[in-house]
């Protein structure tokens, strides 16, 4: 039993150390190089630099009409920003009539400002490359459901054209439906020079209400309908604020934050080992696993790291350490009343669990509120706080307990001084 516990403990230490080393320095396997965590985590606007723009709608519209205008405008801006190659742009509607655009890592911020402010152009182009309709001929575009090939209803995009557009579209679809080659039957729907859909004409459209099919799901159909509605910019957007942020200060702060985090973790490790001895060593392993989980989750789901986000990580590290302190103090108390180490570990975890759950759940609720209702840096703080709290609960409740039991099997639990008592 003792030798088996030693083997498992050595494997755990080796795995944690190996992942930590590879995660820090990266690794090359064959022709593929995997970057370390520092180079893999995407940086937010305050760290990577870029452009920050706030636009306000110049309109007296309110309620549903204003909401639809803002959604259309946001869709146009998102479509344009995608063409800039910006990774994970932050585009959000604020205060009902404003749009915040954050483009981190952009090398030419003026290009983004010019692009965001221009008028959108929606075109319907025939196979010969001739524009037959423009966005001004589209009265509406919406998602409807109709039976598919298997008789199951599926989402499609229904268009409504104005009188001029209906007449032109009837002439064009009459001509294209008579073609024999499939590529000669296509009408290309182009927004700002990018093809967003290319439906095939099956028959002449007489009523000015064409339907675009193509194996959509509800999300993709809604997205296409929104882009088509947004072909003609629905409202004038006034530039309220524009900031071009250089990366030098941000990157310097990023480097210092990483160094501060490493120093803080080492001091925490040293403190825990001095005060709690074997449990303190287990805490260092648990905190290492915590860091691996959080950084891995951030890279996996593409969370942008910001300075407020780093603050959220620091706070959640404090919560993780606090959970370990609560557990170890309870274990120490159980040992001091005469219980064996193994019994004290189980009892200590049981007694500390309520306090740990209460503190972490309340903080988790706060993080969820910040994420759902916050914008920009506030949302970033909420994301990292949520990830950190979840990881700290997993490591403190499950990992720490398992490794402490292994240590009790290895040491025999007879020398209580090894457990801080």
Q: Which domains does the chain have, with CATH numbers?
A: 2-42+246-419 (1.20.1640.10), 50-119+235-245 (3.30.70.3400), 122-229 (3.30.1360.200)
Per-residue confidence (pLDDT) for residue 171, from 0 to 100: 92
Please compute the mean of the pLDDT values over residues 41-53 and round it to a whole number. Answer: 74
| Listed residue (157, 166, 259) closest to 206, CA to CA | 166
Give Cβ neighbours of residue 199 (< 8 Å, ≥ 6 apart).
186, 187, 189, 210, 212, 213, 214
Does the structure show a pLDDT above 80 at 248?
Answer: no
- Judged against a pLDDT cut of 60, whether residue 218 lies above it is answered with yes
Say if residue 84's pLDDT is above 80.
no
Q: What is the mean pLDDT of residues 121-133?
A: 85
Question: Does 350 have pLDDT greater than 60?
Answer: yes
Give me the helix-helix angle, 278-301 and 2-25, nearest 10°. Answer: 40
* E strand or H helix at 131: strand 131-134
pLDDT at 167: 92
- β partners of residue 29: 32
Written as six digits, the tokens of 242 are: 């524009």
Q: Are strands 153-161 and 122-125 parallel, antiparallel or unpaired?
A: unpaired
Whether the predicted pLDDT of 161 surpasses 70? yes
Q: pLDDT value at position 50? A: 77
Please compute the mean of the pLDDT values over residues 357-363 and round it to a whole number. 85
So what's the pLDDT on residue 198?
85
Separation between Cα atoms, residue 260 and residue 263, nearest integer Å: 5
- Model pLDDT, residue 170: 92
Is the pLDDT confidence value at 49 over 80?
no
Q: Would the pLDDT of 279 be above 70?
A: yes
pLDDT for 398 equals 85
Structure confidence at residue 225 (pLDDT): 77
pLDDT attached to residue 421: 66
More confident residue, 166 or 238: 166
Weakest-pLDDT range from 106-120, 178-192, 298-312, 366-380: 106-120
Give the residue-averaged pLDDT of 122-149. 84
Q: How confident is the model at residue 116 (pLDDT cuts 50, 70, 90)?
A: low
Weakest mean pLDDT among 12-16, 50-54, 287-291: 50-54
Share of the chain above pLDDT 70, in %: 82
* Tokens (6 digits) for 76: 């146009």
Q: Please write the tens of the pLDDT for every residue from 377-397.
A: 677 788 888 888 888 888 887
Average pLDDT over residues 361-373: 85
Tell me what pLDDT residue 401 has: 86
pLDDT, residue 38, reads 67
Residue 215 has pLDDT above 80, yes or no: no
* Residue 128 confidence (pLDDT): 85
pLDDT at residue 83 tops 60 = no
Query: Over 60: is that where the pLDDT of 409 sits?
Result: yes
> Residue 328 above 60 pLDDT?
yes
Q: b or e along 183-204 (b: 16 or more beta carbons within 10 Å of the residue's beta carbon)?
A: eebbbbbbbbeeebbebebeee
pLDDT at residue 291 tops 80: yes
Mean pLDDT for the chain overall? 80
Range in 19-33, 199-213, 304-318 with the lowest mean pLDDT: 19-33
**Mean pLDDT value of segment 34-48:** 70
How high is the pLDDT of residue 60? 86
Mean pLDDT across the stretch 160-169? 90
What 226-229 contacts at long range (C-beta under 8 Å, 24+ apart), as own/partner pairs, is: 226/71, 226/72, 226/75, 226/141, 227/75, 227/76, 227/79, 227/191, 227/196, 228/122, 228/135, 228/138, 228/141, 228/157, 228/159, 228/189, 228/191, 228/196, 229/68, 229/72, 229/138, 229/140, 229/141
């Amino acid at each position: 039993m003792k030798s088996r516990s030693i083997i498992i403990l050595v494997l755990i230490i080796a795995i944690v150390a190996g992942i930590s080393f590879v995660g820090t320095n990266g690794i090359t396997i064959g022709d593929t190089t995997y970057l370390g965590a520092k180079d893999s985590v995407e940086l937010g606007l305050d760290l990577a630099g870029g452009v920050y723009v706030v636009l306000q709608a110049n309109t007296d519209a309110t309620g549903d009409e204003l909401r639809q205008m803002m959604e259309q405008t946001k869709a146009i801006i998102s479509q344009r920003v995608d063409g800039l190659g910006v990774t994970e742009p932050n585009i959000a509607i604020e205060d009902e009539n404003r749009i915040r655009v954050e483009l981190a890592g952009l090398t030419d911020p003026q290009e983004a400002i010019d692009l965001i402010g221009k008028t959108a152009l929606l075109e319907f182009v025939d196979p010969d490359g001739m524009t037959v309709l423009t966005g001004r001929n589209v009265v509406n575009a919406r998602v409807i459901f109709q039976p598919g090939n298997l008789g199951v209803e599926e989402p499609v995009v229904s268009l409504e054209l104005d009188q001029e557009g209906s007449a032109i579209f009837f002439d064009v679809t009459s001509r294209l439906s008579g073609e024999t080659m499939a590529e000669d039957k296509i009408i290309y729907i182009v927004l700002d020079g990018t093809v967003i859909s290319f439906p095939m004409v099956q028959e002449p459209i007489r009523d000015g209400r064409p339907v675009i099919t193509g194996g959509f799901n509800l999300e993709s159909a809604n997205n296409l309908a929104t882009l088509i509605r947004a072909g003609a910019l629905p409202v004038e957007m006034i530039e309220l604020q524009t900031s071009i942020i250089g990366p030098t200060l941000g990157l310097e702060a990023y480097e210092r934050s990483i160094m501060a985090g490493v120093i803080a973790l080492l001091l925490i490790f040293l403190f825990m080992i001095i005060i709690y001895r074997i449990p303190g060593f287990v805490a260092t392993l648990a905190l290492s696993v915590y860091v691996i989980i959080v950084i891995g989750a951030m890279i996996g789901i593409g969370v942008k790291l910001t300075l407020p986000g780093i603050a959220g990580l620091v706070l959640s590290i404090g919560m993780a350490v606090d959970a370990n302190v609560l557990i170890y103090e309870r274990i120490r108390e159980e040992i001091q009343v005469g219980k064996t180490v193994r019994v004290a570990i189980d009892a200590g975890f049981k007694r500390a669990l309520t306090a740990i759950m209460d503190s972490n759940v309340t903080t988790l609720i706060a993080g969820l509120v910040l994420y759902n209702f916050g914008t920009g840096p506030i949302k970033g703080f909420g994301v990292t706080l949520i990830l950190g709290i979840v990881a700290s609960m997993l490591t403190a409740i499950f990992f720490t307990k398992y490794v402490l039991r292994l240590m009790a099997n290895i040491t025999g639990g007879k020398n209580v001084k090894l457990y801080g008592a």
